Amino acid sequence: MLTKEAARAMKEKTSKDAARLGPESLRLGLVATDSLRILGLQTIFPEGGAVEVVPLTVPGAMDVAGVSIILLDSACTEHFFELLAAFRRARPRLKVIVLGLEEDHAHIQRVIGAGAKGYLAHTASESEIRLAIDIVQDGSVWAPRKVLARLLESSAAEAAATKNGGTPVFTRRETEVLRLLVSGHPNRVIAEELGIDLMTVKAHVGRLMRKVGVKNRIALTMQAVNRKLIGE
C-alpha cells in the first residue's frame, strides 16, 4: 500500500507530467506485477513518444490524474472482478483495457460486461495493442467480433425499431467514413485516409449514429454490416 505522502507525491508528479505533454499525447496507465510485461509496454511506447506508459499500483490507479486509459493485467490480483467494480465506482470515466490469459469468448464477454472497454490476450501483438488503444480512446470497445455481437443481442429491440424506419441515406463522405469504421479503423486512421481532421471524423460518426438510430460506434458498425448499409 502507498502511504499518504507517497500517493500525494505521485499525484503531484502526474499533474506536472500531464501539463508537460501536448494535447495529442496520451498517458497510459499500466497495472501489472510482472516486470517483463511493464518492460514490454515501455518498449512498444518508448519515452518521449506520443504515448507515455505510467506503471501504477492498484491504489495509485484509483487516484492518478491525467490518465484516461489503464491497461489492467488480470493476473495482478485474485479478486479481479471486484477490482473492476471498484474502478467503475471510483473512476467511472476511466477506460480500462484488460490483459489476460483467457481467450474464451464467454469469459471476455463477462469482462466487458463488468465495465472493461477492451480485452487483450497476453499474446497480443504490438499492432493489436496499438489498435485496441486507438479504438478505446475513440470511445468504442475492443473485443472479438463474436463477443461484440453477443453484447449487442440485448439491443435487439432497438435494432428492430431502426430497421422499421427504412434505409438511411448517407452523403458520399459519410459512406467513406462508415466503410473505414466497419473495417476496424480508429478515428485517427480515418482522418489520415480521408485527409480530414479528427473533429470532422467525430462529427461524421455522430451524424451516422443518429441516422442509423443507435447510441454507440459498436452498434453502428454491427448495423452497417447486418443491414448492408454500405453495399458490397
Decide which of 107, 124, 143 is a domain's last residue: 143
CA-to-CA separations, 198 to 105, 189, 191, in angstroms, rounded: 32, 9, 6
In terms of residue numbers, what domain contains 36?
4-143
> What are the pLDDT tens digits along the chain (232 aa)?
444 454 455 445 444 444 443 445 788 999 988 888 888 888 898 888 888 888 888 877 777 788 889 999 998 888 888 888 888 888 888 899 999 988 888 889 889 888 899 999 988 899 999 999 999 998 888 988 778 777 766 554 445 555 555 678 899 999 999 999 888 889 999 999 999 999 999 999 999 999 988 888 888 888 887 778 886 5
Our count of domains for the chain comes to 2
* Domain assignment of residue 210, yes or no: yes
Copy the grid coordinates of residue 26. Answer: 496520451
Copy the grid coordinates of residue 37. Answer: 510485461
- Residue 14: predicted pLDDT: 45
- Residue 4: predicted pLDDT: 47
* Domain assignment of residue 127, yes or no: yes
* Domain assignment of residue 232, yes or no: no
| CA 103 – CA 218 distance, rounded (Å) | 20
Asked if residue 76 and residue 46 are part of one domain, the reply reads yes
- Residue 221: predicted pLDDT: 84
* Domain assignment of residue 135, yes or no: yes
Whether 118 and 132 have beta carbons less than 8 Å apart is answered as yes
Whether 107 and 68 have beta carbons less than 8 Å apart is answered as no
- Residue 13: predicted pLDDT: 47
Asked if residue 101 and residue 172 are part of one domain, the reply reads no
| CA 176 – CA 181 distance, rounded (Å) | 9
Asked if residue 98 and residue 71 are part of one domain, the reply reads yes
* Domain assignment of residue 231, yes or no: no
